[in-house]
Amino acid sequence: MSVIRPVILSGGSGTRLWPLSTRARPKQFADLIPGGPSLFQATISRLAGVPGTAPPIVVTGADHLGLVRAEAATSGVEPMVVIVEPMGRNTAPAVAAAALLADSEDVLVILPSDHLIGDTGAFQDGVGTAVGHALSGSIVAFGITPTRAETGYGYIETGDSVGDGWQVARFKEKPAVEEAGEMMSDGRHLWNSGMFVAMAGALIDEMAATCPAILEGVRGAVPTSTEGLAVLGPSFATVEAISFDHAVMERTGRAVVIPLDVGWDDIGSYQALMGLTAKDGEGNAVSGTVILENVTGSFIHATTRTVAVAGMSDVIVVEAADGVLVVSLSEAQRVKDLAERAQKQG
The Cβ of residue 171 has, within 10 Å, a number of other Cβ atoms equal to: 18
- Does residue 275 sit in the same domain as residue 210? no
Asked if residues 286 and 280 have their Cβ atoms less than 8 Å apart, the reply is: yes
- Does residue 237 sit in the same domain as residue 159? yes
The Cβ of residue 274 has, within 10 Å, a number of other Cβ atoms equal to: 20
Which of 211, 245, 265 finishes a domain?
265
CA dihedral 318, 322, 323, 329 (to 10 degrees): -40
Q: How many whole angstroms from its chain centre is CA 323?
A: 24
- Does residue 11 sit in the same domain as residue 154? yes
Instruction: Find all residues with CB under 8 Å of 174, minimum gap 6, and list them.
Output: 151, 152, 153, 154
Which of 219, 246, 265 finishes a domain?
265
Instruction: Find all residues with CB under 8 Å of 30, minimum gap 6, and list them.
Output: 14, 17, 20, 21, 22, 38
- Does residue 200 sit in the same domain as residue 285? no
Instruction: Find all residues with CB under 8 Å of 185, minimum gap 6, and list them.
Output: none
- Does residue 38 sit in the same domain as residue 18? yes
Full pLDDT tens readout for the chain, 346 residues: 799 999 999 987 778 999 999 989 999 999 888 778 999 999 999 999 899 999 999 999 999 999 999 999 999 999 999 999 999 999 999 999 999 999 999 999 999 999 999 999 999 999 999 999 999 999 999 999 998 888 888 999 999 999 899 999 999 888 888 888 988 888 899 999 999 999 999 999 999 999 999 999 999 999 988 889 999 999 999 999 999 999 999 999 999 999 999 999 989 899 989 988 999 999 999 999 999 999 999 999 999 999 999 999 999 999 999 899 999 999 988 999 999 998 888 7
- Does residue 274 sit in the same domain as residue 220? no
**Residue among 258, 279, 299 at smallest CA distance from 125:** 258
- Does residue 277 sit in the same domain as residue 261? no
Q: For residues 64 and 23, give the distance between their C-alpha atoms in angstroms, rounded to a whole number.
A: 9
* Domain of residue 340, residue span: 270-344
Which of 265, 296, 317 finishes a domain?
265
Looking up residue 202, the CATH number of its domain turns out to be 3.90.550.10
The Cβ of residue 20 has, within 10 Å, a number of other Cβ atoms equal to: 24
CA dihedral 335, 338, 340, 345 (to 10 degrees): -150
List % helix, strand, coil for the chain (3-state, nearest 5): 35, 30, 35
Q: Give me the number of domains the chain comprises.
A: 2
pTM for this entry: 0.94
Q: For residues 144 and 65, give the distance between their C-alpha atoms in angstroms, rounded to a whole number.
A: 31
- Does residue 198 sit in the same domain as residue 328? no
- Does residue 190 sit in the same domain as residue 309? no
Integer angstrom CA distances of residue 189 from 118, 146, 166, 210: 22, 8, 11, 24
- Does residue 68 sit in the same domain as residue 203? yes
- Does residue 253 sit in the same domain as residue 313? no
- Does residue 253 sit in the same domain as residue 118? yes
Angle among Cα 232, 238, 241 to the nearest 5 degrees reads: 90
